[in-house]
Chains A and B, each alone.
Chain A
């Protein structure tokens, strides 16, 4: 089997599974549906691992080739083609591994759902789309994958399409993403207009020559072409990777079933923007303005989304805000020109965040679909595997030394410290403060769920029903006072264990080759002179053990420990303290600001969306009906009607009147005709 066949097989295997489960889902059993999709993804994962091994160990050259020509215009080919290098291979492995875990997990999680086969079809289709995105060797296919993952995300958020909240959330997700794609598409348009091609390799090769090219978008204002292009492309990333202010769709996407929250809205799709910017590093490196924009947006997201995580009581939403905040960390790394660090954090985050989400899903199953952490507590006794794996995930998330998240997050913080961009000091503050906040909300959730009193026994069902809007749904019935939660079946716990292993280990083993070795050589570019962060980091790096030991002397680690201790004190020892703090913040209005998520939803829903509908109504009722139809069309008809009233008097009904008019007309026409002929001769 030659390599091209393998590359083709990697995305096509999950597509085959998706088509079988989707088109013939009505005819085949549940077992057949999950077997065929899992087999497809497993094949894809094994081949991806084989490809990664080839690149890392055997030094296989990167592959860059065309599969077929999609379109030709103006002599330029738009191809579907693959670029398989170390970055792609790593992404392929992450995507297919997490996808495989999620496929297996779904057998347990969706067991009772009537849409079982449809769900497997969607998640396999997602895997195909995401693979096409990361394997693209050109902008067109990138955009294809980009929109295709958006489509599947839309379908999966609205999977339970009877719920009004779900169909609201999926429409919102699609439209907010479309705002990002709007910028992305214009960025692609500028690339084609100035580079004359959409192939990565050709575009990157020309980039240095166009460093000083400018565009004039407003008369008198000349901007650097690369700055404008990079910012437009990054707007696409802001939509997909949920960066402020296009982050609003991600918390609502939790309406989807938990497995897809893990796969799509934590581990893979939302990191597509990070991947894309890393892929475009040869362009972004040439524009400090664009990098600074990226840095500041990332810092805002990392800090302010973390705050929102503190006040959430829905277990999935806590994890969702933590995802937003971590995506902000990755974006900060991009802005600091530490692309490889961003990708490294992407990878470690994929494992421990998928783990946390799947753990949350397991808790939700144990709690009989009650998602409110205030009703949980003491679950470690009933769900030991979920407990341990969730603890591992949380420790990785907050950056405990030797855990994977430590290596990636600490590298981000150090890279920002070395950045000289104007926004770097704010970004440094954001990512350092974020460490405390992350530790605090992560362990707030951890303690409330797994430790302390078993609160579901005492909960006031009635009050809870009022508090939680989702309760109308049959999926949310929760535990009764005399029920006991049970550990989930092995199909659920096995993926947890398999994800916990890389959550602990992958950072230790991968940091040296990925950040300081040759893994990304020739794939990710950075300008050593202008952006020395990576060089500085490399000088300071003396192996993973030294890095972990060194961290003991840094304030970052103590901030994390502080966050854990604070959450323990607040939620386990003295619940009166957070209650008092809560009262204080309620009094000064901060609580409200956080509950309303900084009023961003109001801005979009009551602002832009309503304005669009009002404008549409005005255009329709005033423009079309009143002006065009009322004045122009029916007005014309009325004028014609008036004249016809007058001319009706000419219609006397006498034959000789008509005959006279006909003769007269014929004479006039003939004169005109002959006149024309005579003149032309």
Chain B
């Protein structure tokens, strides 16, 4: 059973998705919903043993599976997770469950297709996190775009075609360069697509630099890093609530994960040499995007920009792998913690906006005001998530930012100085929005008619609230699984691969 646990996390949701799809039209919508929630729950349950069975003492790749797939090119169906990826498989399965519940009544047309798209996407994303073969990773990484593209294109807002095409084109360029990079590495590695072989490969500085650029285009777009971030606000604005939740919680993490799995270990010398570029872009993301978020008038855009700013912390942390002469795991672990936390917090924020959108059909801040008068329970939950988004201690949002800032001080005080401005900007844009939307007297008739959250919405909010608080008050279980893998990674990055 544990022998193919990872396969289960991939194929259980995909098969469930196909079953849901088979229920067909909207006459069987309820059956589709129940099957979807069962499938998502099963998908989540099979991912839990990955954590409970994880060997935290000896890092390394675990739950390994390998079967030849295309033997001509030595491509294998090879799976395994280490401390860098295991949390994301679980986070993804968890988010899928939340999304399926979140879409329960909101989606009324093509229910089966909607639910199936999320389930299938969940399996594909798990595949990308679990793949230890570069081509297998590539296939999952690309295939996952299709359901996301459909989710935005079919259930999205009025400008969905522009958004989904922009999203697709942005990501496509990067993907092609990754494929070229993989083929090059395959040649260099003497006919192996095993990622670990790529990481061991000695490479000259020129080759490393080219690979770093290729990976930058592939993964920086996904993260997204400044200046290739402009697709994200558009995609979020047009995506349905569930799409935004997965996009923010998981898809962005896939890009960041790519840096950890490919860019840093395959091109360590180039990564050290050009770390300043990534640090610069990350700090621009934190400061510049933080200010852009401040002036948004659309709630979803605001949270989308806030996501970019928070992901800036992630990439900043990655490139703080060495503080002076010492290895510096604070920032790298902080970055991974930030990825998980952002999964909870951004999903929750987008869900909150979805709850209001479902009632008022507007995302404009100006169309709200005084929501707390009519929806006190909702306002309390959103307060918690807004505080988490502002990085308040006791919530998950604090842990990662804190660790990255602590790590950054050890590298360069001014990096930490620029990054820490998020304390002010993050609180500024989040709480200013909260004030205008939630506080005040009832602003208009739409707000006056609001009904507080129903049981289903309460369930999603409560589960996410527990996750946010749990991780904030006791983050140790989250970091424990990554210590060995992170230390291996930063040690690896500190070693020269030049011949």
Contacts and interface: CB of A to CB of B under 8 A. Distances in A.
Nearest to B323: A193
When A and B form their complex, which 5 residue pairs have the shortest distance between CB atoms, in order from nearest? A189-B409, A616-B291, A616-B295, A167-B439, A161-B439
B402 A185 contact: yes
A393 B384 CA distance: 38
Interface string B469-485: 00001111001100100
Interface stretch (A58-66, A175-183, A294-302, A510-518): A175-183
A175 B230 contact: no
B394 interface: yes
B382 to A, nearest CB: 13
A612 interface: yes
A215 B413 contact: yes
Nearest to B399: A71
A616 B474 CA distance: 35
Given A147-B392, A637-B169, A182 B333 contact: no
Given A144-B394, A185-B405, A73 B291 contact: no
Contacts of B421: 182
A676 interface: yes
B281 to A, nearest CB: 13
Given A143-B393, A624-B230, A628-B229, 15 more contacts: A73-B403, A161-B440, A171-B435, A175-B428, A178-B423, A181-B423, A182-B424, A185-B420, A186-B420, A192-B406, A192-B409, A193-B323, A193-B410, A616-B292, A628-B230
A616 B441 CA distance: 28
Contact of A167 (B229, B230, B435): B435
Interface in A124-174: 140, 143-144, 147-148, 151, 154-155, 158, 161-162, 164, 167-168, 171, 174
Contacts of A155: 383
Interface in B207-242: 227, 229-231
Given A178-B427, A185-B402, A192-B406, A164 B293 contact: no
Interface size of B as a range: 35 or more
Main secondary structure on chain B at its contact with chain A? helix
Interface string B388-412: 0000111000110011011011100
Contact of A613 (B294, B405, B420): B294
Contacts of B428: 175, 178, 612
Contacts of B408: 189
Contact of B440 (A74, A164, A179, A612): A164
8 contacts: A69-B476, A72-B479, A158-B439, A161-B372, A175-B428, A188-B406, A612-B425, A629-B230
A528 B194 CA distance: 67
A168 B431 CA distance: 11
B237 to A, nearest CB: 13
A206 interface: no
A612 B287 CA distance: 11
Interface of A: 68-74, 140, 143-144, 147-148, 151, 154-155, 158, 161-162, 164, 167-168, 171, 174-175, 178-179, 181-182, 185-186, 188-190, 192-193, 215, 217, 612-613, 615-617, 619-620, 623-624, 628-629, 632-633, 637, 676, 680
B330 interface: yes
B170 interface: yes
Contacts of A632: 227
A161 B410 CA distance: 42
B373 interface: yes
A70 B393 contact: no
Contacts of A72: 476, 479-480, 483
SS class, residues of chain A in contact with chain B: helix
B413 A217 contact: yes
Contacts of A633: 166, 170, 230-231
Contacts of B288: 619, 623
B38 interface: no
B255 interface: no
A253 to B, nearest CB: 15
Interface of B: 166, 169-170, 187, 227, 229-231, 288-289, 291-296, 323, 328-330, 333-334, 370, 372-373, 383, 387, 392-394, 398-399, 402-403, 405-406, 408-410, 413-414, 416-417, 420-421, 423-425, 427-428, 431-432, 435, 438-441, 473-476, 479-480, 483
In the complex, which of the residues B187, B292, B323 has the most CB atoms of chain A within 10 Å of its own CB atom? B292
Contact of B413 (A154, A158, A167, A186): A186
Nearest to A623: B288
B490 to A, nearest CB: 10
A144 B330 contact: no
A175 B480 CA distance: 34
Contacts of A181: 423
Contacts of B405: 185-186, 189
B341 to A, nearest CB: 13
B394 A619 contact: no
A177 to B, nearest CB: 9
A617 B296 CA distance: 8
A607 to B, nearest CB: 15
A79 B14 CA distance: 42
Nearest to B428: A175
Contact of B187 (A164, A616, A676): A676
A450 to B, nearest CB: 36
Contacts of B394: 144, 147-148
A218 B394 CA distance: 34
A162 B333 contact: no
A68 B403 CA distance: 18
A612 B292 CA distance: 9
A171 B434 CA distance: 10
B330 to A, nearest CB: 5
A73 B329 contact: yes
A364 B91 CA distance: 53
Contact of A151 (B170, B334, B387): B387
Nearest to B166: A633
Contacts of A189: 405-406, 408-410, 416
A217 B439 contact: no
Give the one of B187, B333, B402 with max A CB within 10 A.
B402
B476 A620 contact: no
Contacts of B425: 612
A612 B423 contact: no
Nearest to B408: A189
A147 B393 contact: yes
A624 B435 CA distance: 26
A624 B292 contact: yes
A677 to B, nearest CB: 10
Contacts of A69: 476
B278 to A, nearest CB: 18
A171 B435 CA distance: 8
Nearest to A630: B230
A619 B290 CA distance: 10
Contact of A619 (B291, B372, B474): B291
Centre residue among B383, B428, B432 by max chain A CB count within 10 A: B428
A608 to B, nearest CB: 10
A189 B166 CA distance: 40
